Amino acid sequence: MSNIVDPLVRQIAARVRAERERRRWTLARLAEASGVSQAMISRIEREESSPTAVVLGKLSAAFQLSVSSLLAGEGEGEAATEPGEERVRRQADAAEWRDPETGYRRRQITTPRFPAEIAEIRLPAGAQVPYPAAAFAFIRQLVWVLDGRLTFHEGDLVHELQAGDTIELGEPAPRTFVNNTDTECRYVVVLTRHQQP
């Protein structure tokens, strides 16, 4: 087995550890706030485990950060090689994160400098990814389906979204992104913060 650690696993580990230490939280405090076990948090911080989308959602809710923020490295997007290049982000430079459990893939489109976070999501056939209501308590979010069909659970409401459809999310509620079809669903998530943690 290879000892090479995926750069995104290393980046997530560093970010989770930095956010926990910035708040002066122990592993036990973060476990209590997030509902993620201390053992799992410790494995993530030691780069021994890649968190699932569900775990990232719980950690982001505890920290009151977006999932995109946890996937972004400290200072990401701040360096530019040539004048004017700071506004250009090549597709090859936008790392894609893959959920080890569902195969869900997330590619961050914007850098932390941009006032809105935009991510492209690829949800495999048959996959579903739930997020707790707390993950949406500090953001406004829009989902735009590009390809396929997305069944979106928002509390007790269920929305069937086709390619071209959008939904602006309302008050925080538990939400689940579901692909009940036999083909991949590709959608964009756009979010802005409306409160500071």
Residues 100 and 185 grouped into a single domain: yes
Q: How many Å apart are CA 107 and CA 121, to the nearest integer? A: 7
Tell me which residue of 153, 159, 163, 164 sits closest to 185, measured CA to CA. Answer: 163
Is 79 domain-assigned?
no
Is 34 domain-assigned?
yes
Position 76 scores a pLDDT of 45
**pLDDT class for 163, splitting at 50, 70, 90?**
very high
Task: Indicate the range of 79-93, 123-137, 162-176 predicted with least confidence.
Answer: 79-93
Residues 47 and 102 grouped into a single domain: no
Instruction: Check: CB of residue 1 under 8 Å from CB of residue 48.
Output: no
Position 68 scores a pLDDT of 78
Model pLDDT for residues 39-96, shown as the tens digit of each residue? 999 999 999 988 888 898 889 889 888 787 777 755 444 444 455 556 777 777 767 8
pLDDT mean across residues, the chain: 85
Last residue of a domain, one of 56, 71, 86: 71
DSSP annotation string for 53-91: HHHHHHHHHHHT--HHHHHSPTTTT---SSTTGGG---G
Tell me which residue of 141, 140, 147 sits closest to 121, measured CA to CA. Answer: 147
> How many CB atoms lie under 10 A from the CB of residue 187?
24
Tell me the two tokens of residue 185.
């669903």
* CATH number where 167 lies: 2.60.120.10
Is 87 domain-assigned?
no
Q: How many Å apart are CA 177 and CA 161, to the nearest integer? A: 11
Model pLDDT for residues 13-42, shown as the tens digit of each residue? 999 999 999 999 999 999 999 999 999 999
Is 130 domain-assigned?
yes
Instruction: Check: CB of residue 128 under 8 Å from CB of residue 102.
Output: yes
Tell me which residue of 172, 134, 129 sits closest to 152, measured CA to CA. Answer: 129
The rounded Cα 36 to chain-centroid distance in angstroms is 16
Residues 66 and 103 grouped into a single domain: no
Position 79 scores a pLDDT of 41
Residues 178 and 106 grouped into a single domain: yes
* CATH number where 66 lies: 1.10.260.40
Q: What is the mean pLDDT of residues 136-140?
A: 80
Task: Indicate the range of 22-26, 38-42, 155-159, 192-196 predicted with least confidence.
Answer: 192-196
pLDDT at position 3 over 70:
no
Question: 91-112 burial, b for 16+ CB within 10 Å, e for fewer?
Answer: eeeebebebeebebbbebbbbe
Position 144 scores a pLDDT of 98
Position 38 scores a pLDDT of 93
Quote the domain boundaries for residue 22. 7-71
Tell me how many domains the chain contains.
Answer: 2
